[in-house]
Amino acid sequence: MKTLLSLPVLAALLLWVDPAFAQPGSGGADVLPGRHAPALEDQPRGASWRAQDSYVDFIHEPNGRVLLRIHYPWSAHARPSVEIRRLSDDEKDTGEIRSMGFAARVMKGDVTTAVYQCRNRSAETPVVRKLKRDGQEFEVVGAKNRLGSGSVCVVFPPQPDAKNPAVWAVYPLLADWAIDRDTLVLELPEPYFAERGRIRVWFLREGEVLWWKTVPWPGRAERKVDSRQ
């Protein structure tokens, strides 16, 4: 004999949220506002995501280093990338701070070749290639990340002659930084992000900004030394 559920019961089941997702910051991370993005199979086709549909938090490692974790269905988008910019202490947090648009504007020709070469070689040994475009010097840094994958990060050090000498970190190949289809764990390049401050995080699809957030960056914690040793 089949049991039919009443509409109120069905509604309650559909709206139930696993507590593990309701509290994404369990495990000691400093959680920032936002909610966990649902799995890809739960998304309607062509869904338009808003900033509040994702969240950014941190993973604190025992050695004092901090990893940036992004929960967002990154794999649902064509040529997804993440850009991170360090904000100065007196800089206002406004929408006028624009993304770089690296994947669409800069990643062409020999830059694309350098990105993939550094990524492919990084599984065996760290590799750095210095390039320059439109008067800006930057480094394509390939290294094995905490996930054990060869990966690449493009670093724009402070430009002394620039109007705003900000530091940028760009991640044009996200698959190497992914735990799954909805979660990225990024390592921000030291020493540029070792100190506390604020960072702006952009998520882009083929150069189009889908969302951005400004978050307080905890920086690297100094390890305590036991004076009895």
pLDDT, tens only, 190-228: 889 999 999 999 999 988 999 999 999 998 876 544 444
Contacts from 107-111 at CB under 8 Å and sequence distance 24+? Answer: 107/172, 111/140
Q: What is the pLDDT of residue 163?
A: 61
Contact present, 107 and 172 (Cβ < 8 Å) = yes
β pairing state of 80-87 and 197-205: antiparallel
Phi, psi (deg, nearest 5) at residue 205: -125, 110
Q: pTM value?
A: 0.74
Contact present, 160 and 149 (Cβ < 8 Å) = no
- Does the bond joining 191 to the residue before it have cis omega, within 30 degrees of 0? yes
Query: For 120-168, what is each residue's pLDDT tens digit?
Result: 999 889 999 999 988 888 999 999 999 999 999 999 998 776 665 789 9
Query: For 17-62, what is each residue's pLDDT tens digit?
Result: 333 323 333 332 332 233 333 333 333 333 444 545 568 999 999 8
Q: What is the pLDDT of residue 5?
A: 42
pLDDT band of residue 174 (cuts 50, 70, 90) is very high
Domain boundaries, the chain: 28-41+49-91+100-217
Query: For 90-104, what is each residue's pLDDT tens digit?
Result: 888 888 889 999 999
Q: What is the pLDDT of residue 11?
A: 40
Going 26 to 27 to 33 to 34, the CA torsion angle's sign is negative
